[in-house]
Structures are given as structure tokens and as C-alpha cells.
Amino acid sequence: MTEVSVARARRLAERAAQDELDLLLVTGAVDVRWLTGFTGSSGLAVVGSGGVRRFVTDFRYLVQSAEQLGDDWEREIAQELLAHVAQGLHGRVGFDDGDLSVKQHAALADAVGDDVELVPAGGLVGELRAVKDADEVARIRAATRLADRALEEVLERGLAGRTERDVALDLEMTMRRMGAEGVSFPPIVAAGAHGALPHAEPRDVEIPRGTLCVIDWGAQLDGYASDCTRTFGTGGEVDPRDAEVYELVRVAQEQALAAVRAGVGGREVDAVARDLIAAAGHGEHFGHGLGHGVGAEVHEGPRLSQRSDSVLAAGNVVTVEPGVYVPGAVGVRIEDLAVVTDDGTDVLTSLPKRLRTIDG
């Protein structure tokens, strides 16, 4: 792991130098973990040209940080991490303006010397994190497999007649029992008209037969997340209008997924699904972006949306998840997780996409 961390620190320092930064201060916990391998809750890192690799944590992590970072980082123990790290900063120092609070920034600005210029530089680590190496892809693939297996097991216990909350809890417990560290986000289980809320919270309400049920879930495993959505029939007849919405979303999802490859813009891929859904008269019912990157966090770069300026690169891991939400009627979302390659995708999700009805 430490070779990986030295290489990442070097690449990050090079990236910072492109923005004419002498040093980059990394404060976000997930960024620090990606960079250094440190899994504790209190730590920050500084990288810079000439092989600067400083890591600061507090006394509680003395032993853990020694084990996880070895000798590749200059390790320092302090009570006030920011005040401590301020000593020894020089020149143009990038900081994560998406992570530091106004209060923390003020404390840092107070503590640095006169020769330091603090420069907002949030997003630099995220840029590198968006391109996964083989080990990261393997972890995301394992998280996805676990999540897929867990869902299959939960579906054997049926949907109709159970409450949304019961199914969501069952899914969470099943993933944990199978070895997940946790969920990558609380599962969404939303039947009928409730499915028309893209971020519906599971209710203590029985799932009826004869409708659709959106399930959006993911597992956290080995520090990496998965994310997938399927929409199921809940038994008996599915209303033909609902089935039509389902088919529209399925085709939009498959066409957008087929458009994903390195070099294509996040906006272009979004447009493939969006144009198709709009042409079917449901443009106003698809109110979110097509997808997002997934890695150590369930929402990270790149973005696939109307406002995205991301260009996809080989090694990105992204979701493709169009949805149609008809208020008061029904919601359908289908989401796959895929690795971007030079000529297409390596789809991690294994579950079928034809409308499937869960009886029982």
C-alpha cells in the first residue's frame, strides 16, 4: 500500500504544480485515506514538489498511523492539527475550500507565516481519485457483487405485503451479514406513487401488488462503494402505462450506457437518455442528472449531467441511471455501475434489466 501512496503523492504534487502551487494541504478524511492509506478519523496531509510528504494526526493515532503509513511519510503528532501544520508551510499553498469550514480557514490563515498565500484548490484530489487503478476497480466490483447477491436473497422473501422499511432493513442487514462494512447510503425502497420521489425514504407502508417498486441500494466494502437501482413489478398485473414507462427508461438506460466510453463528454451521454425520454413526452419527469462517479464515496467525479464539463476517461467508474417520475402515479429508475474503457464499458452490475415481477 505504501508504494501506492508514494506514487499518488507524487502525482498529486505534479497536479498541484500545474496550478502553480508549492504545496497542497489535504484535509478531507476520504481524500487523506486515498492518499496515505490512513483510515483514522483525524489526519491531514501536505504534499509538494521535491517529495514533500507530511502527515499530521493526534495522539490517539500514534500507533495506527505508524502501521499504516510506515516511513514514507513524515509523521507528526499534534493537538491542533491545522495550527500545527501551518508551521512549515511556505509559498502558494492550496487548500480544499470544499472541505474546510470558514472558521477552520480563518484559524489556518491566522497561524501561517506572512510568506504564505492560501489558495482555494478543492477538487484536485477528486480529479485524480476519479480515475481508478485495478485494485480500486476490483474492490468496487466486489462491493457490487455483494450488493447484487444480497438483493437476490431479499427478493426471495418477496416484496408485496411487506413494508418498504422492512425490505430496506432486510437489505441492509443482508449486506452486512455477507460482509459489507455498511451501506453506501440508506437503501431506497419506494412502491407505486412513492417511487416518483427520486430520494424517497422507506415508509412503514405495505407494498401493494400490481405496481412497481424502485429499489436503490449499495454496499460499502474494503473502503469502496457500490450503487445500483432496479425497479420491479410487485406481483399480479402491471398497469400497461407503468410498463410503458418502464420500457422507456430501460431503452434510455441501455442506449446511454452504450454511448459511454473514454473521450465522450458527461453532457453528451446525459443527452442520449434525456432526448429519448423527452421525445416520449416525459422530459419534465426526468429531473436529475444521468449519473455520477463512484469510488471511496458513492457520489464523486465525474458527473454525467446537463451541466457537466467532465470528459470521461478510462478508469472512471460511473453510474448510468435515468429515471422517469410521474407525480402521483409511478416512478422508474434503472441504474448500472460501469468502468469506462477506451472502447466502451465493463459493466459491474450483474442483474437483468427486463421488467421482472416478484411474486410471493
Three-state secondary structure call for residue 251: helix
Judged by beta carbon, residue 48 or residue 302, the one nearer Zn ion is: 302
Cα 91 from chain centroid?
Answer: 34
Q: Note the Cα 197 to chain centre separation in Å.
A: 20
Q: Are 286 and 323 in contact (CB under 8 A)?
A: yes
Enumerate residues 294-313 that contact Zn ion by CB under 5 A: none
Only one residue has cell 485495478, namely 134
Does 216 contact Zn ion by CB under 5 A? yes
H-helix segments, 122-181: 124-129, 134-156, 164-177
Contact window for Zn ion (CB under 5 A) among 159-167, 278-286, 331-339, 348-356: 331-339
Contact string (CB under 5 A) for Zn ion, positions 217-256, x = contact: ----------x-x---------------------------
Helix axes 134-156 and 164-177, enclosed angle (nearest 10)? 130
- What is the total count of residues that contact Zn ion (CB under 5 A)? 5
- 136 vs 335, which CB is nearer to Zn ion? 335
Window of 100-108, 149-157, 209-217, 282-290 that interacts with Zn ion by CB under 5 A: 209-217
Least Cβ distance, residue 248 to Zn ion (angstroms)? 19
Q: Which stretch binds Zn ion (CB under 5 A): 156-164, 166-174, 319-327, 348-356?
A: 319-327
Nearer of residues 28 and 322 to Zn ion, judged by Cβ = 322
* Residue of the chain from 27, 226, 319, 345 that contacts Zn ion (CB under 5 A): 319
> Residue 121, class by beta-carbon neighbours within 10 Å (0-12 exposed, 13-18 middle, 19+ buried)?
buried
DSSP H helices in 178-239: none
Minimum Å distance from CB 335 to Zn ion?
Answer: 5
Of 256, 276, 254, nearest to 324 by C-alpha is: 276
Residue ranges binding Zn ion (CB under 5 A): 216, 227, 229, 319, 335
